[in-house]
Amino acid sequence: MLPLVLVTVVAVRHRSVLADGFAHLATARWPWLLAAAGATCLTWVAAACTRQGAVLDRLPARRLLATQFAAGAANHLLPTGLGASAVNLRFMTVCGLSLSRSSAALALYLLAESVGRVALLGVLLVAFPGALRLGSLLPEAAFGPLLLALGAVLLIGAGAVAGVRRLRTAVTGFLRTALGEARSVHARPSRALALWGGALAFPALQASALVLVGLSLGLSVPPAHMAVAYLAATVAVALVPTPGGLGSVEAALVVALVAVGGAAAVATAVVLAFRVVTVWLPLLPGALTLGALVRLKVI
C-alpha cells in the first residue's frame, strides 16, 4: 500500500497538472483512440501466443485467449503480475500439465517477456540514441542504493537456498524441470517462434497503443520517442509492487513523456487516456470473463 500512498501524495501536490490533463481529454480524436483499443486487443493474442510457445503440449486456443483476457483483470488485484500468473498457472494445471511443468512454463514466459521488452528498448535506444535520458526516470544518486539493495536481495536469496536443504532441493528440482522444458520448447521451431515472437509483439503493441493515444491528443513527440518513453517507464517500474502498476506506471509514463519533449499537461492527458483504454475499459468485462471461466472450471 505504501507506493499507492506516495502516488496519492504526489497527485495531490500536482493536482493542477492533473486537472489540465483531464481538460485535454476532450480534444482527443476518436479514430486514433479506436486504433489504440484495437492494438490493446491484439496484446491478448500476443500473450496467448507466448503462453503457448512456453509449453510443448497443445493448449485449447479459445480458452487460452479467454484466459489472457481474464488474467488482465486478475492482474489488478495482486501486485507485480501475480494475478495473471496465478490465473495462467491454474489454467495450465486444469489442462493436464503437472504443477512443476506449469511453473516452469510460467517462468519461461516471464523470462521471455522481460527479455523481449528490454531487447526492444535496447534496439530503439540504439536507433534513437537521444530519445531519452535514463536520469530523467532514475536520478543518478539512486543508482548506488539501487544496486546495493539488489545485491543484498540476491545474497540473501542465495544464502537461504544454500543453507536450507529442503529449499535447495526444491530449487534444484525446479531448475532441472525448467531447463528441460526450455530445451524441449526450443527444439520445436513453431513453439520457439510463438514464444519469442509473442514476447516481442506484446510490448511492441503496448507501445503502439500509447503512440496512437499520443497522436489522438496531438502530443508533440515523435512516435519512436513515445515508444522509447513507454518501454523505459515500464522497465523502470517493474519492481514497484503495486497492483497492475497502478499509480507507479502513470507517474513514470508522465515523467518519461516529458523527458522526451512533451508538455506536462498533454503528457498527463495521454497517460490518463492510455490507462483508460488499456486498463479501465477492459477491467469489468475481464472480471466477468474471469468469473465465468471459474464457474466453467476452465481455471
* pLDDT at 148 > cutoff 80: no
Contact 50, 191 (CB under 8 A): no
Longest CA–CA separation in the chain, Å: 61
Q: What pLDDT does 136 receive?
A: 47
Give 230 or 15, the one with higher predicted confidence. 230
State the DSSP code for 26: G
The 10s digit of each residue's pLDDT in 220-237 is 889 999 999 899 888 877
Single out the residue of 252, 282, 253 nearest to residue 270, CA to CA: 253
Give 46's contacts (C-beta < 8 A, 6+ positions apart): 198, 201, 202, 205
d(CA 69, CA 73): 7
Neighbouring-strand partners of residue 56: none
The arithmetic mean of pLDDT across residues 175-198, rounded, is: 90
Q: At what angle do helices 264-275 and 15-24 cross, to 10 degrees?
A: 70
Give 28's contacts (C-beta < 8 A, 6+ positions apart): 213, 216, 217, 269, 273
The arithmetic mean of pLDDT across residues 252-264, rounded, is: 83
The arithmetic mean of pLDDT across residues 74-90, rounded, is: 80
Q: How many CA atoms lie within 13 A of 119 on its CB side?
A: 12
Q: What pLDDT does 162 receive?
A: 64
* pLDDT at 55 > cutoff 90: yes
Give 83 or 290, the one with higher predicted confidence. 290
* pLDDT at 153 > cutoff 70: no
* pLDDT at 281 > cutoff 70: yes
Q: What pLDDT does 246 receive?
A: 58
* Planar angle of CA 81, 85, 89, nearest 5 degrees: 175
